[in-house]
Amino acid sequence: MKLTIYGSGYVGLVTGACFAQVGNSVVCVDIDQNKVDRLNKGDIPIFEPELSNLIKKNLTDKRIEFTTDAAYGVRHSDIHFIAVGTPQDENGSADLQHVLDVAATIAKHMTKELLIINKSTVPVGTADKVKSVVQSILDANKKSIKFDVASNPEFLKEGNAIADFSKPDRIIIGAETNSTIETLTALYAPFNRNRDRVIFMSVRSAELTKYAANSLLATKISFMNELANIAERLGADIDEVRNGIGSDPRIGYHFIYPGCGYGGSCFPKDLKALRATAIENDYQARLIETVIEVNERQKQVLFNKMNRFYENDLAGKRIAIWGLSFKPNTDDLREASSIELINALTSAGANVNVYDPVAIENAKLLFKDNSQISFKESAISTCENADALVIVTEWSEFRNPDFEQISKLLKSKVIFDGRNIYSPSDMAKLGYRYFAIGRGETLY
């Protein structure tokens, strides 16, 4: 099949690469000429395991290409995916300007029947808006061309996106016509061989399903963070509690790991967009509001623990920070807990040494004007002359470090663990003061 994907960001690149890999002819359209030039040379602007290799292979095999020529993209294909960003407005709602601009561009250049699919995360009712934009431009140009608009939200986890797309748990498709259902069934057939993963539903239900999924996962995280804060005050170990409740199949172990708050491009933005949608429809989504509030508070927990430990005098202290990205296996710093922590520490007069396996360059750009930050090339070098070590992102290389070597570099054997990756008893045996989330020594 011939596909055009508008937007060469995270979703667009993964979608394009995976569809090309199974034999489709894919054109990716983007307005950024520099990005397009880089992509056509196989230079991938984001970090995602296996994505670079996949795009380079399909560039060589001529199954994928990148262009700024939208008219060519429209001519090329019968199936058009909108995968542009939907940034957050001031009130938390999703800004649809880029989505509707793409719809207008498609309408301007279309000369044949085609299918438009929203891959971007968009509020309920967006497909109707896309349809209205396209139809109004066709009417203005006195064109009578059939088209349909469907919803096919992505469920990609950063750090595991290629596997998520290639071996999906489910493929959600909102479609209203038999022809669209048949087309998308055929398109997704290579990813749907072992069992039927495609779930068809109404367009509006598909649009809501994306928000519902992310909101529920975020709710589980915030609930566990609340429970961890309670456990710490009661002298309980939240990790033991997690094992106890996770063994219940109705609950399960996924997304019940407490920490220093969730981040990324999806959860924070999607929950605020769903809250805004509820308000627009005269409903106060109290649970969603609370999940957002709990997460914002949780991002302050590490700093608050450190501030209490140092008796409100962090000025002149040097703190080592391991992990900057919002989760492992990505270089994405959007809404990362590390950002709030670093800003709080430096505002309090502390200096920080920071290290991340892949997000360090993005961090240098983000904090380029902050002279209190030293960017290090390794986890061990981050500890030199530091008063304490803080774990913010649970990268695998942090899980079993050389604590003897670390103790020789740190001024004091103090660890603040925002992801609970170490055992409090093991840390005590090694002589470390160990403060985690809902376990270890208490500081509240």
- Strand ranges in 281-366 using DSSP code E only, listed in sequence order: 318-322, 351-355
How high is the pLDDT of residue 89?
Answer: 86
Residue 369: the pLDDT is 94
Q: What is the pLDDT of residue 443?
A: 79
Rounded-to-integer distance, Cα 19 and Cα 81, Å: 11
Could you give the maximum distance between any two Cα atoms of the chain, in Å?
79
The helix-helix angle for 10-21 and 51-60 (nearest 10°) equals: 50
Q: How far apart are the first and last CA of the chain?
A: 58
Q: How many CB atoms lie within 10 A of CB 301?
A: 26
pLDDT at 312: 96
- As given in the structure block, the two tokens for residue 26 are 């894919």
pLDDT of residue 195: 78
Q: What is the pLDDT along the chain (444 residues), one digit of tens a residue?
A: 999 999 999 999 999 999 999 999 999 999 999 999 999 999 999 999 999 999 999 999 999 999 999 999 999 999 999 999 998 888 888 899 999 999 999 999 999 999 999 999 999 999 999 999 999 999 999 999 999 999 999 999 999 999 999 999 999 999 999 999 999 999 999 999 877 899 999 999 999 999 999 999 999 999 999 999 999 999 999 999 999 999 999 999 999 999 999 999 899 999 999 999 999 999 999 999 999 999 999 999 999 999 999 999 999 999 999 999 999 999 999 999 999 999 999 999 999 999 999 999 999 999 999 999 999 999 999 999 999 999 999 999 999 999 999 999 999 999 999 999 999 999 999 999 999 999 988 877
| Strand 414-417 to 388-391 pairing | parallel
Per-residue pLDDT, 193: 85
Count of other CB atoms within 10 angstroms of residue 406: 20
For the annotated catalytic residues, the residue numbers are 266
For residue 143, count other CB atoms closer than 10 A to its CB.
12
d(CA 35, CA 225): 39
Structure confidence at residue 441 (pLDDT): 87
Nearest to 388 by CA among 310, 312, 297: 310
- Residue 83 contacts residue 5 (beta carbons within 8 Å): yes
> Which amino acid belongs to residue 100?
L
